[in-house]
Amino acid sequence: MKSRAILHLDMDAFFPAVEVLDHPDLRGQPIIVGGSCNRGVVSSASYEARRFGVHSAQPMRTARRLCPDGIFLPVRMSRYREVSRKIFKIFKRFTPLVEPLSIDEAFLDVTASQRLFGGPEDIAKKTKEAIFIGTGLTVSAGVAPSKFVAKIASDMDKPDGLTIVTPDKVRAFLDPLPIKKMWGVGEKTQRALHRLNVRSFRDLSLVSVELLERQFGQQGVKLHSLSMGIDDREVVPTRVQKSLGSEATFSEDIVEIQEAKKQLLLLAHRLAHRMRKEKTSGRTITLKVKYADFVQITRSRKNAEATDDGAAIYSTACSLLERTDTGKRPVRLLGISLSHLSQPGPGEQISLLSEPEESQKRRCLNQAVDSLVDKFGDRSIQPAALINP
């Protein structure tokens, strides 16, 4: 059986790279993109900032301590999505088998593309070149006969790297790697493996499957296979998105419930715009509240019909807020998400004739708002309650 050719493509420090793209004077600076002030977390850091120990998911307070002269910027998700769409269009020039992992990385199965574009290494080079020409950004690539090995390979030579692992070199590539490089192995599993004297991929491959199954269940069996590069998972082009959300961490704790509702209004309309942009709607609305002491709770409601309307999302979120201690306990973060998503089928069109008059008015209003936001930005039009006198 012919070996598969899988690419894992991972954009280099994507959020900071887009900021440099838009503001060239930032090039070479330690850029940290994330939550406001000291309250949020780092979403992404440039390689210059990473030299100071800054990394994603780190508290912004820690990042400021490690890199006091860093350039701290807010997340501009709409801009990053815009660039991401261009990148994924380039991916699809080389194969229809593109499986997104996130906004800035994907697997590509190019097994059947070699007749048109050359071998896997050639395809990886052509893809990297096309992305740089099309966007001005760099991407690191891993090429291997499986998704697991390709993902590890893409991380070996960042930024702008290219690592090729041919089928006959898989074990030689994996054997010396530390076990922490294994995708999906967290600190707890690492400690448990260390107790079995497992420090490298080779160590893990030499442990009996029976022992690993006793210690870790089916996960142990899977880890044993992965340690030898055995991964038969297909590249799946259509990943079903399960939820969409919007959240904010506040520079000062919210203590009044009316202020919390004002913030929910902003989040609801941002989320609704994104839902309509992605041509989806959701039935289940979930409110997330994180208190000042970092205790986090969620409250959900499943509605009879799916919605992409900001007013409807906001109304439900406010009723869910009443079931929390907001107003009694300081709040540092609020978030709203929609799940049980639905999308119109191919060629399906929503008929205004079957809608109540009020729904027609809401739909037309939302279309007008979306048009203005797309043209002038999300601050160009917003509910009156959000406009400071």
Q: Per residue in 329-344, pLDDT tens?
A: 999 999 999 999 886 5
Higher pLDDT, 264 or 364: 264
Question: Which pLDDT band, with edges at 50, 70 and 90, does 252 fall under?
Answer: confident
Q: Is 188 exposed, middle or buried (0-12, 13-18, 19+ CB in 10 A)?
A: exposed
| Assigned token pair, 184 | 């999906």
Question: Which pLDDT band, with edges at 50, 70 and 90, does 361 fall under?
Answer: low
- Asked if 21 and 135 touch (Cβ cutoff 8 Å), the reply is yes
Question: Which pLDDT band, with edges at 50, 70 and 90, does 387 fall under?
Answer: low
- Asked if 193 and 179 touch (Cβ cutoff 8 Å), the reply is yes
- Asked if 269 and 244 touch (Cβ cutoff 8 Å), the reply is no
C-alpha span between 98 and 286 (Å, rounded):
30
In terms of Cα–Cα distance, which of 267, 270, 273, 245 is closest to 365?
Answer: 273
- Confidence at residue 388, expressed as pLDDT on a 0 to 100 scale: 58
C-alpha span between 98 and 123 (Å, rounded):
14
Q: How large is the greatest C-alpha to C-alpha distance in the chain, in angstroms?
A: 70
- Asked if 279 and 343 touch (Cβ cutoff 8 Å), the reply is yes
Question: Which pLDDT band, with edges at 50, 70 and 90, does 351 fall under?
Answer: very low
- Confidence at residue 350, expressed as pLDDT on a 0 to 100 scale: 45
In terms of Cα–Cα distance, which of 263, 273, 280 is closest to 377?
Answer: 273
Cα 365-247-102 angle, rounded to 5 deg = 95
Strands 331-342 and 281-291: antiparallel
C-alpha span between 286 and 288 (Å, rounded):
7
Average pLDDT, the chain: 88
pLDDT tens readout for residues 95-142: 999 999 999 999 999 999 999 999 999 999 999 999 999 999 999 999
Q: Which backbone phi and psi does 243 adopt, to 5 degrees?
A: -160, 160
- Confidence at residue 346, expressed as pLDDT on a 0 to 100 scale: 43
- Asked if 106 and 98 touch (Cβ cutoff 8 Å), the reply is yes
- Confidence at residue 370, expressed as pLDDT on a 0 to 100 scale: 63
Place of tokens 């899977």: 222
- Confidence at residue 345, expressed as pLDDT on a 0 to 100 scale: 44
In terms of Cα–Cα distance, which of 239, 236, 230 is closest to 144?
Answer: 230
- Confidence at residue 79, expressed as pLDDT on a 0 to 100 scale: 93
Question: Which pLDDT band, with edges at 50, 70 and 90, does 251 fall under?
Answer: confident
Is pLDDT of 38 > 70? Answer: no
- Confidence at residue 382, expressed as pLDDT on a 0 to 100 scale: 62
122: Cβ–Cβ under 8 A, 6 or more apart, which residues?
none
- Confidence at residue 274, expressed as pLDDT on a 0 to 100 scale: 87
Cα-atom radius of gyration of the chain, to the nearest Å? Answer: 24
Question: Which pLDDT band, with edges at 50, 70 and 90, does 263 fall under?
Answer: very high
Place of tokens 């996960």: 219
| Assigned token pair, 56 | 């994603």
pLDDT tens readout for residues 183-241: 778 888 899 999 999 999 999 999 999 999 998 899 899 999 999 999 999 999 976 67
Is pLDDT of 376 > 90? Answer: no
C-alpha span between 353 and 108 (Å, rounded):
43
Higher pLDDT, 139 or 248: 139
- Asked if 260 and 337 touch (Cβ cutoff 8 Å), the reply is no
In terms of Cα–Cα distance, which of 373, 195, 170, 350 is closest to 272?
Answer: 373
pLDDT tens readout for residues 42-78: 999 999 999 999 999 898 999 999 999 999 999 998 8
Max mean pLDDT among 1-10, 169-178, 276-285 falls in: 169-178
Question: Which pLDDT band, with edges at 50, 70 and 90, does 265 fall under?
Answer: very high
Q: Is 105 a catalytic residue?
A: yes
Share of the chain above pLDDT 70, in %: 86
Q: Is the pTM here over 0.75, yes or no?
A: no
What integer is the mean pLDDT of 2-20? 95
Distances (CA, A) of 210 to 174, 225, 227: 22, 13, 15
- Confidence at residue 174, expressed as pLDDT on a 0 to 100 scale: 96
Q: Which of 82, 105, 121, 305 is catalytic?
A: 105
Question: Which pLDDT band, with edges at 50, 70 and 90, does 353 fall under?
Answer: very low
Residues recorded for the chain: 389
Is pLDDT of 13 > 70? Answer: yes
- Confidence at residue 294, expressed as pLDDT on a 0 to 100 scale: 86
Is pLDDT of 379 > 70? Answer: no
- Confidence at residue 275, expressed as pLDDT on a 0 to 100 scale: 87
| Assigned token pair, 71 | 């350039």
Is pLDDT of 172 > 60? Answer: yes
